[in-house]
Structure 1
Amino acid sequence: MTLLDIRGLTVRTADGRTLVDDLSLTVGPGERLGVIGESGSGKSLTTLAVLGLLPEGMTATGSIELAGTQIVGATEKRLTTVRGRDAAIVFQEPLTALDPLMRVGRQLAEPLRRRRRLAGGALKRAVAEALEQVRLPEPDRIARAFPHEISGGQRQRVALAMALACEPKLLIADEPTTALDVSVQAEMLALIDTLVREREMAVLFVSHDLAVVAKVTDRALVMKDGRAVEEGTVEQLVRAPREEYTKALVTSARRLESALDLRSAP
C-alpha cells in the first residue's frame, strides 16, 4: 500500500522553465523518506506540489496521488479536504506560516475547530494539549502570545503542533531546523522523531544536509537541478554513494558533523 505516489512530476514556470523534471517517488504508511539537495534542486517545490501549494505562475503535470486523491488538477475545495487530514507541512521559517496579528492559541484552534469539530472548553483543552505535546513550557502563556513574542524555537514547535493537530497520515517537513540554533536544531529533530514514532506517521523530510536527514529518515532521494539522481537507504548513501553529487553531500555532512563536535568539545 502506498500513501504518497508521485509519478513523472514536472513543475514549470509561466515562461516554460522546468524546475522539477520527471520526478517519481513513493512513501508508504509509516515510512520516512528524506529528500536531499542543494538550494534550487527542486525539493521544496516538490513538497508544495504535494499539497497543491505551488506559487502563482507555476504549473504541475504528471501524477501526485495522496491517500487516494489525485492532487494534480484537483479543485481548491478538494485540496482543502486533503490538507491537514491526509498531509500537513512544517516550513523552514514559522513566521511565514503563522499570522503575526493572531495569538498563537487562536491559530492553533482553527484546525482543531474545523477538522475535529471542537468548541468551548474541549477546544481550549485541546489547544493546551497540543502545545504540551510539542514540549512547550507554560502552554497557557504561549497560547496568549503573538508569534513575535516567543522565540524562534518556540514558534517552530507551534508550527509543528499545528501540523500535527489533525493527526495527518503524512508529515511534510521542509527544512524545519535550518533557521534554528544548533542546540535547538537537535532538540527539534529529536522531538519530530519521537512524535512521528508515537503516531506511526509517514514523513517526507526535506533538507540540504544529509546529516540532518539521517537523524529522522530511513531512506533518502537525492535531487539535483530538478531531477532525482540517486535513491537508497540512508546507510547506503552514506557508505557507498554512486553519484559524484551524492559523494559531495556526504563529504559536506561529515565536515559539518566534525565542526560541530569540535565546537561542543570542552
Structure 2
Amino acid sequence: MTLLDVRGLTVRTDEGRTLVDDLSFTVGGGERLGLIGESGSGKSLTTLAVLGLLPAGMTATGSVELAGTQIVGAPEKRLTAVRGRDAAVVFQEPLTALDPLMRVGRQIAGPLGRRTGLRGAALRAAVVEALEQVRLPEPARVARAFPHEISGGQRQRVALAMALACAPALLIADEPTTALDVSVQAEILALLDTLVREREMAVLFVSHDLAVVAQVTDRALVLKDGRAVEEGPVLDVVGAPRAAYTRSLVAGARTLQAALDLRSSR
C-alpha cells in the first residue's frame, strides 16, 4: 500500500527561483526511503512540503498525497489533522525544535492530549511512558526538565518521543543525528531502527551521510539542485551508483572514511 505519493512536486520562491523541480517518489507502508544529497539539494524542503510546512515566501505545486489526504493547497485545519496522526517529523537540532521556555513533559502532553483525549494523571503517565519508550533514564525527571537542562542526545530522544507519541504511520527524520557525536549518533540510530521495526512504521530519512542512509533505509533517492538524479535499492545506489553525481558522493564518503580509519590506527 502506498502511504506517501509525491508527483511532480515543485517548490518555488515568490521571486520565481525553483528549489525543488518536478520531483516524484513514493513511500509504501512500512518502507524506508532515504533522501540523499548535499546541502542545498532540496532534501529538507521536500520534507517540509510533505507536511505543508514550507516557510513564507515559498509555494509548492504538484501533488503530495499522504494517507489519502492531498497536502498541496490544503487548508491549515486539514494539515493539522494530518500532522502527528499520519506523519510526524524529527528535525536535525532538537534544541531549536523544542520550546526552550516549556518543560519537556508539557511539550509532549500538548499534541498527545489532543490526539488521545487523555487528561490529568492519565496524560502525565502517558508522557512518562513515551519517554520510557525512547530509553530515557529517569523519564519522570526528564519530563519536569527544560530542554537546556538535558544533553543533546537526550533532547533528540525527547524529539523522537514527541514524534512517536501519536503513533504516526510515517516518520520523517531530517538529519536527526548530524548534531550529535559519533557514539550518541550510533545509539540514536539503533534506537530509531528498533522503534520503527516494532511499530512497523514507514520512514522518510533525510541525510547527506551515505553510511547512515545505507544503515537505516531500504531504498534511496539522490537529489541534486532540487532534481532526482538516481533512485533504487540503497545498497545498489551506494555500492554501484549509476549517476556521476552519486559516484562523486560515494567517492567523497569513501575518501573521508579512509582518512578517519588511517587516523584512528595511529
The answer to whether TM tops 0.5 is: yes
For 1:225 and 1:200, the matched residues in 2 are separated by: 32
For structure 1, the residue ranges without an aligned partner over 5 or more in a row are: none
Residues 262 and 188 of structure 1, relative CA distance in 2, 3 Å threshold = farther
Taking a change above 3 Å as real, the CA distance of residues 244 and 201 of structure 1, as seen in their structure-2 partners, is same
Aligned to 1:241: 241
Deviation at 1:252, TM superposition (A): 2.3
Aligned length: 266
Runs of 4+ that moved beyond 2 A:
252-266
Q: Establish whether residue 63 from structure 1 lines up as the match of residue 63 from structure 2.
A: yes
Match of 2:31 in 1: 31
Deviation (angstroms), 1:264: 5.5
Structure 2 unaligned residues grouped into runs of 5+: none
Q: Which residue of 1 aligns with 2:86?
A: 86
Shift of 1:35: 0.2
Partner of 2:195: 195
Distance 1:265 1:133 in 2: 37
Secondary structure of 2:34's partner?
strand
Give the 5 Å matches for 1:18-167. Answer: 18-167=18-167
Provide closer, same or farther for how the CA distance between residues 127 and 248 of structure 1 changes in structure 2, counting only shifts above 3 A. Answer: same
Residue 265 of structure 1 and its aligned partner are, at CA, apart by 5.3
Q: Distance in 2 between matches of 1:60 and 1:81?
A: 19
2:31·2:201 contact (CA, 8 Å) conserved in 1? yes
8 Å CA contact 1:174, 1:206 repeated in 2: yes
* Offset of residue 203 of structure 1: 0.1
**Which residue number in structure 1 is paired with residue 169 of structure 2?**
169
Contact 2:214 2:238 in 1 (8 A): no
Residues 256, 191 of structure 1: CA spacing in aligned structure 2 closer, same or farther, 3 A cutoff? farther
Contact 2:171 2:201 in 1 (8 A): yes
Q: TM-score, normalised by structure 1?
A: 0.97
Per-residue CA deviation, residues 196-215 of structure 1 (Å, 9 max, x unaligned), is 00000000000011111011
Deviations 1:50-71 (A, max 9, x none): 0000000100000000000000
CA distance in 2, matches of 1:152, 1:77: 33
Letter in 1 for 2:150: I
